[in-house]
Chains A and B, each alone.
Chain A
C-alpha cells in the first residue's frame, strides 16, 4: 500500500531514451522526480515529463503518477456550526488525523465513537436556540493522542440522550477523559497513548 505522501511513478521507455543515452535519461528522470516531489506540483506527471524530455521532439512518452489524495493531517483544528450535520464532517477530518497518527482502521472506528460522543454532546446541549459552534483540535504529543472538543456553552452532562450510555462508552474507549467546564464554555480533553488505543 502507498503510504500518505508517497508517489508511484510509471513511465514508458520513451521518457528516458529521448536523450539517446539511457543512463543520462534515467538520471534526468530521477532529478526531475525529486524536484517535482519537493514542489507539491498539481500535475506531477506533466512536470516530470517536461523536466525530463524538455521540448525535445519525442514519441512514446507517457508518465503516470499515483499518490494518496490526502496529505497527512498531523494537527487538526476545525470549527463547525453546532448542528447535527457537522458530526460527519468532524469524523471525516478526525479520520485524516488518526490516519496520520498511524492508527489502524479498526482503532480509528472505535476512537471515532469516543470523540463522537463528546462532539454530539456539544452539538446538542451546549447551546440554546441561538446556536453556536464546536471546535475540535487534535495533536500528537510525546506518543499521546490528544483531542479537545470545545464549545462556549454550558456542559450538561446530566442530560445524556444516550440513555446514560454516553459517558460509559466514552470512558470505556479512552481512559483519560478530562472535562473542564466554566462560565466561558466547556472543553473535553481525551488523551490516549497512540499505542494503546483499543480495538
Chain B
C-alpha cells in the first residue's frame, strides 16, 4: 500500500461511490482495482467512481475502468464516472476516448441517477 492516493467508498442512496484522492499510477493501480472489487455490490444497480479530486492517473487506470465496466455489464450493472468539465480527469478521459465506453458526469448526483436508470433506457 502506497500513500499516493486515498480511496474512500461511501454509500449514497444505496449506490457505492468510490472517491479517489491523490495520484494513481503503476505503484497503486492494483490497490484501486481491489477497492473497486470490494465496492461492487451485487445487489446494487452499479457503482460510481468520483475522479474530481484525482491529481494523476494514466492509461492503466483508464484500462481498469473500461475493463471493470465490461465486467459489470455482464451482471447488468453499470459504472459511471464523475469528472467535471475542464478538470484534469475529464481531459484525460476525453483524450483516451473513454466516455464512449464509460459515461462521465459533472456531479455525483448526476452519476448516481445515471446508474439508477433501468437498463435499456
Across the interface, which residues of A come within 8 angstroms of B66, CB to CB?
A: 163, 165
Q: Do A112 and B56 touch across chains, with their CB atoms under 8 A apart?
A: yes
Chain A neighbourhood of B26, CB < 8 A = 84, 87, 120, 123-124
Within the assembled complex, what's the spacing in Å between the Cα atoms of A153 and B95? Answer: 29
Interface flag for B72 (CB, 8 Å): no
Residues of chain B lying within 8 A (CB to CB) of residue A154:
none
Stretch from B8-16, B41-49, B57-65, B77-85 forming part of the interface with A = B57-65
Q: In whole Å, how far is A133's beta carbon from the nearest beta carbon of chain B?
A: 16
* Docked-complex contact A113 and B92, CB < 8 angstroms: yes
Instruction: Tell me, yes or no, whether A88 is within 8 Å of chain B by CB.
Output: yes
Interface residues of B in 25-65 (CB under 8 A from A): 25-27, 55-60, 62-63
**B59 touching A117, Cβ below 8 Å:** yes
The answer to whether B59 touches A165 (Cβ under 8 A) is yes
Asked if residues A168 and B27 are in contact (CB atoms below 8 Å), the reply is: no
How many A-B contacts are there with CB distance less than 8 Å?
76
Number of interface residues of A (CB under 8 A): 28
With both chains docked as a complex, state the minimum distance between the C-beta of A193 and any C-beta of chain B, in angstroms: 18
CB distance from A159 to the nearest CB of B (A): 13
Closest A residue, CB atoms, query B95: A172
Contact A165 B63 (CB under 8 A): yes
**Given A165-B96, A169-B92, A173-B95, residue A88 in contact with residue B59 (CB < 8 A):** no
A113-B58, A162-B60, A163-B59 are contacts. A169–B27 as well, Cβ < 8 Å? no
Contacting pair B91 A117 (CB below 8 A): no
As a 0/1 sequence over residues 1 to 19 of chain B, the CB contacts with chain A under 8 angstroms (1 = contact) are: 0101000000000000000
For B87-110 the 0/1 string (1 means CB < 8 A from A) is 010011001111000000000000
1/0 per residue, CB under 8 A from B, across A160-192: the answer is: 111111101100110000000000000000000
Which of A109, A123, A163, A169 is B55 in contact with, Cβ under 8 Å?
A109
Check A91 for interface membership: any CB of B closer than 8 A.
yes
Is B62 a contact partner of A199 (Cβ separation < 8 A)?
Answer: no
Give A85's nearest chain B residue, CB to CB. B27
For the complex, give the distance between the alpha carbons of A42 and B58 in Å.
39
Nearest CB in chain A to that of B60: its residue: A162
Task: Say how far A171's CB is from chain B's closest CB, in angstroms.
Answer: 9
Measured CB to CB, the nearest residue on chain B to A173 is B95
Q: Return 14 A-B CB contacts under 8 Å, by A number.
A: A84-B27, A88-B2, A88-B25, A113-B57, A161-B59, A162-B58, A162-B60, A165-B62, A165-B98, A166-B59, A168-B59, A168-B97, A169-B92, A172-B96
Which residues of B does A touch, CB under 8 Å? 2, 4, 23, 25-27, 55-60, 62-63, 66-67, 88, 91-92, 95-98
> 11 other contacts beyond A124-B26, A161-B63, with CB at 8 A cut-off?
A85-B2, A109-B56, A110-B88, A110-B91, A113-B57, A117-B59, A120-B25, A168-B95, A169-B58, A169-B62, A169-B92
